[in-house]
Structure 1
Amino acid sequence: MVLAGLGALEYARLARQRDSIRIRIHVNGTRGKSSVVRLIAAALRAHGVRTYAKTTGSLPRLIAPDGSELPVFRQGLTNVIEQLRMIAIAAADRADALVLECMALEPRLQALCELRILRSTHGVISNAWPDHLDVMGPTPRDVALALLGTCPANGVLFTGEREHLPLFERACRDRGARLVRIGDAEATAITDAELARFDYIEHRENVALALAVCSELGIPRETALAGMWGAEPDVGALREFPVDFFGRQILFVNGFAANDPIATERVWNLALARHPECETRLMVLNCRLDRADRSQQLGLALSRWAPADHYFLVGTGTFALARTALRAGLPATRITPLEGESPAEVFEEIVGAAGRSALVVGAGNIADIGLELLRYFENRARLPEGRAA
């Protein structure tokens, strides 16, 4: 058991540290967790609340009250005991608020992180989409039930989930929590002008969720948004990098953090809608040998989406995605496996397929070569106007 090493005295110390932090927000969900953590923490800071936050997404980071970030170093495998260290740091610095991204996948550990470690005052479950079915599944309903392990006891739970609301209502009744649902009305209340103020592509649903939490905490909307606009985005945030390569216009979209079929299709469709001027449409899918089920899900889904002109498969275990996509009807001539190739070699393959202008969307996973490709394109992209090198 994870807390077996904690004796009575140690657990009493954790309880004192935790309870000294007035606002404790636990953020969970399939997609958008890291972004929502950063948005809420930035709004709290803008309101003058001494806030620590921790993300566990693309690269784990501890965000201090002044907005500076420190990498979270790990010895060995990831362990939820790490959250105790974050609570201790925040308590020692007399923080008023702590915003933690849930780092557990196994259903019992998700519940343990909430009920035994953080005991949040406010919970957020961004959505409950089918992902990590090998751990939280096998069905989408099972995923929702696993995520609901972080429903706060006698607190408030915020969610943008649409499909599994009866489960959310039942979990809130069971734990004496109040459910706040974020729907289309709240999302569409975020204007295009407000979204344009972000330095990256932020999703309306994430902003609406964060604003709902801020409203509950008494933070004025304009104060919250001002803080969010100035926040540093997660490395996995949806961003665009225009590259002019010897006359070829290549627009790279970092969607690597979208690694389930629903999120990946949304990113793909959004990129297509934003850039109809690109003549060629390319997709780079980063696979992981230890996520064969996810590769198979993406392989099945690709043939149902708006087609790309070519698909480049990078990372490890690309065979699972390629085989599934071929069986689902994707032409073999449109698939190029590049397992084991370097970012430079992948870039050359993309350039060769780009034509005069190309939209290139990365998806699947940001780990390893995903992050390397992101940096490769970012370092070769045109600088925004007014920004010095």
Structure 2
Amino acid sequence: MGPVILLLVFVVLVLLAFVEALFHRRNLSSIPIRIHVNGTRGKSSVTRLIAGGLRAGGLVTCAKTTGTLARMILPDASEYPVFRPVGPNVIEQVRIVATAASYGAQAIVVECMALQPHLQWLSESRFLQSTHGIITNVRPDHLEVMGPKEEDVAWALAGTTPVGAILFTAEQKYLPIFEKAVLDRKTRLLAVTPKDVAAVTDEEMEGFPYVEHKENVALALRVCGELGIDRQTALTGMRKAPPDPGAMTVSHIRFFGRQIYFVNAFAANDPESTEQLWNMALNRYAGAEKRIAIFNCRTDRPVRSQQLGQACVRWQPADYYLLIGSGTYFFLKSAISEGMPLRKVLVLEHDSDSDIFEIIVERAGRSALVVGMGNAKGQGLSLARFFQNRGILREALKKEVA
């Protein structure tokens, strides 16, 4: 009887899988516009920007991000956390598509959640079968999975190139790799050029309630434009779209005569992007008396910590480097080996948010620029919230300026 029961169980499981596949195909076919967003940096932001633009254009749109916090975004722009009983798994995309179909979605925008190259391919070819693929950019991140070289990352990301569709990208350096991918999959390539990015004006960017990147906006505008939504309508929707929890924000704090400007750049965690945000913050707050860099480390991302530790020594210097989170040893060892003065480093791996705040205040002088980098998850999120809740409201600052 034992073998017979096992055979029956196997047959039942196969039938259930077959039925699930049929339902998934039906759900996919019910959503005419399917957008799959991949890349190293900016995936969550671009996903939200495109969804906002499509909503403003009158399309019933659902979206799902997997950045700082996984979120399902409904057609009315409300959102809720993605339930993960056993942790992240690419098969959850089936459930996301089913949810979008139940809302009668005309469009779905999904951030790629896979890191392993074969899972990236699986997400596209089996779960989403997108009509519009996006690769934001290529940076040297997750090299332990997609590397060892930056070029290997480009090849891995190219795995989500859709078949017989359109691929958008703002990447320039590795554009030849994507040209080969679209040729193989009979897909059209639309590249966002530096000229397209420059066409996004400072006035257009001022409407965002957080710090957004022109490259992300230009890419989202190109996608919305391809779907027949005019620039102004798309921009209006993008500005109204709720930002990702890890979006770059600035909190201005006045504390007993001190001025502290806290820049939440935790979501950027490859050396190139992180340096760009560091320089952007330095230029914006050039008058700050002290510069304090905070790096939130993760034990499960040792390579990232080593990369940032080696790279930050060559950036414009900070007065202090605060290491928080877990696994700070990897960052510290790499930074010291590259010549970082130990007197500038404070290891605060087990300190609370309030203790870290007090340490910053002690070293802030009359004014300080504090930039959080490395990882948003873990203490990065809680520390950013700590500063945000103590910052001057945006409306109050506007009144003061007026």
Do both share a fold (TM > 0.5)? Answer: yes
Give the AA of the match of 1:80. V
Give the AA of the match of 1:356. R
Question: Which of 108, 113, 119 lines up with 1:103 in the alignment?
Answer: 113
For residues 227-306 of structure 1, the aligned pairs below 5 Å read: 227-306=237-316
Give me the TM-score of the superposition, normalised by structure 2: 0.94
Alpha-carbon distance in structure 1 between the residues aligned to 2:16 and 2:247: 36
Over the matched positions of the two proteins, sequence identity in percent amounts to 55
Which residue number in structure 1 is paired with residue 353 of structure 2?
343
Give the AA of the match of 1:265. E
Alpha-carbon distance in structure 1 between the residues aligned to 2:26 and 2:361: 57
Alpha-carbon distance in structure 2 between the residues aligned to 1:264 and 1:275: 17
How far has the Cα of 1:382 moved from its partner? 0.8
How far has the Cα of 1:7 moved from its partner? 2.0
Alpha-carbon distance in structure 2 between the residues aligned to 1:216 and 1:10: 32
RMSD between aligned residues: 1.3
For structure 1, which runs of at least 5 residues remain unmatched after alignment?
none
Alpha-carbon distance in structure 2 between the residues aligned to 1:370 and 1:5: 45
Q: How many residues align?
A: 385
Secondary structure at the counterpart of residue 126 of structure 2: helix
Which residue number in structure 2 is paired with residue 133 of structure 1?
143
Alpha-carbon distance in structure 2 between the residues aligned to 1:261 and 1:120: 31
Which residue number in structure 2 is paired with residue 28 of structure 1?
38
Alpha-carbon distance in structure 1 between the residues aligned to 2:242 and 2:365: 34
For residues 68-83 of structure 1, the aligned pairs below 5 Å read: 68-83=78-93
1:214 aligns with 2:224: yes
Which residue number in structure 2 is paired with residue 112 of structure 1?
122
Give the AA of the match of 1:167. I
1:318 aligns with 2:323: no
For structure 2, which runs of at least 5 residues remain unmatched after alignment?
1-12, 398-402
1:354 aligns with 2:354: no
Farther-moved stretch of structure 1 (17-26 vs 75-84): 75-84
Secondary structure at the counterpart of residue 339 of structure 2: coil
Secondary structure at the counterpart of residue 360 of structure 1: strand
Alpha-carbon distance in structure 2 between the residues aligned to 1:80 and 1:265: 31
Which residue number in structure 1 is paired with residue 212 of structure 2?
202
How far has the Cα of 1:6 moved from its partner? 6.5
Are the structure 2 counterparts of residues 359 and 176 from structure 1 closer, same or farther at C-alpha, using a change threshold of 3 Å? same
Give the AA of the match of 1:262. E
Alpha-carbon distance in structure 2 between the residues aligned to 1:359 and 1:307: 12
CA-to-aligned-CA distance 1:6-59 (integer Å, 9 cap, x gap): 622211111110111010000000000000000000000001100000000011
1:327 aligns with 2:337: yes
Which residue number in structure 1 is paired with residue 9 of structure 2?
none
Alpha-carbon distance in structure 2 between the residues aligned to 1:28 and 1:363: 22
1:87 aligns with 2:97: yes
How far has the Cα of 1:372 moved from its partner? 0.8
Question: Which of 161, 170, 190 lines up with 1:180 in the alignment?
Answer: 190
How far has the Cα of 1:314 moved from its partner? 0.2
CA-to-aligned-CA distance 1:240-269 (integer Å, 9 cap, x gap): 000111111000000000111011101100
Which protein has the larger Cα radius of gyration, Structure 1 or Structure 2? 2
Give the AA of the match of 1:205. E
Alpha-carbon distance in structure 2 between the residues aligned to 1:7 and 1:352: 60
Poorly superposed stretches of 4+, deviation over 6 Å: 3-6
CA-to-aligned-CA distance 1:265-297 (integer Å, 9 cap, x gap): 011000011111111111000000111100000
How far has the Cα of 1:385 moved from its partner? 2.1
How far has the Cα of 1:88 moved from its partner? 0.2
1:10 aligns with 2:40: no
How far has the Cα of 1:383 moved from its partner? 1.1
